[in-house]
Amino acid sequence: MRHGYFFAAVVAALLFGGSAAQARTAGDRWTYDFHAGISIGGVVPMPFPVEIREIRGYNPLFLPYLEADASYWFNSRWAISSGLRFEYKGMKTVARVKNYGMKIIGEDGSQMSGNWTGIVQTRVKSSFVSIPVVAVFRLSNTVDLKAGGFASFIMEKDFGGKVYDGYLREGSPVGDKIQFSDGAVAAYDFSSDIAAVHYGAQIGADWRFSQHLKLHGTLTWSLSDIFRDSFETITFDMYPVYASVGIGYAF
């Protein structure tokens, strides 16, 4: 199902690009671009919590994106740009934690909540359609600088993993101790608690190396917590931060 969304995004972006190429003749104030590339980053807790004692592993995953933009130029230097970006955001991590808020799922389907001390293995991979709105400054004939914001609407969401080599204090840091050792593993899944809408800031740059082709780079920083306001299991906020690089085509 994930790949179905992505291929639909490819078709939508190509249709946008085809329409843009025809519309380009309507006036020199409008320009149109199509970008494709990959992202790398993660969901970052801020400030970094004392509950996370050690990061033992990080896998950035394969995170493709597609973006189609239209820009309106006020003069030869300044423009405003917006469009659609279809993207994945995710990561895999392994961390050693202490008194980490957790809700685990037993083998019989029962749930236990409390504070976990031990190893947490986390996977995050969700797909979004995002709407960026940025100001564009033409630094030179080949370089454009961009800064602004974005809103992202989630299509698919996945945030879960497992815990092992540790123990759960049920209910509170001084609750009953439930030990997980000798290979015992418990799963957790917070996917349903991810917020439907995210917003944040972004900066980027384009370097045009031919008449139509360019390199495209963007840093996005979410200003909203990845989880819903009602989610209380993890006691600190977590923010997606991602850098993207790709190839662009200017129509």
Tokens of 175: 């609750």
191 near 227, Cβ under 8 Å? no
Sign of torsion, CA 37 38 43 46? Answer: negative
**Predicted TM-score of the model (pTM):** 0.85
213 near 34, Cβ under 8 Å? no
- Spatial separation of the C-alpha atoms in residues 4 and 133, rounded to whole Å: 26
Which residues have a Cβ under 8 Å from the Cβ of 136 and sit 6 or more positions away? 71, 78, 79, 80, 81, 144, 145, 146
Q: What is the pLDDT of residues 61-83, one digit of tens each?
A: 999 999 999 999 999 999 999 99
pLDDT score recorded for residue 46: 84
Which one, of 161, 150, 180, 30, lies nearest residue 90 by Cα? 161
Question: pLDDT > 90: what percent of the chain?
Answer: 78
Q: What is the pLDDT of residues 89-142, one digit of tens each?
A: 999 999 999 999 999 987 677 789 999 999 999 999 999 999 999 999 999 999
Q: What is the pLDDT of residues 7-21, one digit of tens each?
A: 444 444 444 444 444
Residue 101's region, left for phi above 0, alpha for psi from -120 to 50, else beta, is: beta
DSSP state for residue 194 in the 8-state scheme: B
pLDDT score recorded for residue 87: 98
Lowest mean pLDDT among 44-53, 123-132, 219-228: 44-53
167 near 176, Cβ under 8 Å? no
156 near 142, Cβ under 8 Å? no
Lowest mean pLDDT among 126-140, 144-158, 159-173: 159-173
Question: Stretch 174-188: mean pLDDT, rounded?
Answer: 89
Q: What CATH architecture is 2-250?
A: Beta Barrel (2.40)
pLDDT score recorded for residue 110: 78
Backbone angles phi, psi at 115, to 5 degrees: -120, 125
Annotated domain spans of the chain: 2-250
89 near 39, Cβ under 8 Å? yes
Q: Where are any strands of DSSP class E within the chain?
A: 30-45, 52-59, 64-73, 78-105, 111-138, 143-156, 159-170, 177-189, 197-208, 213-222, 238-250
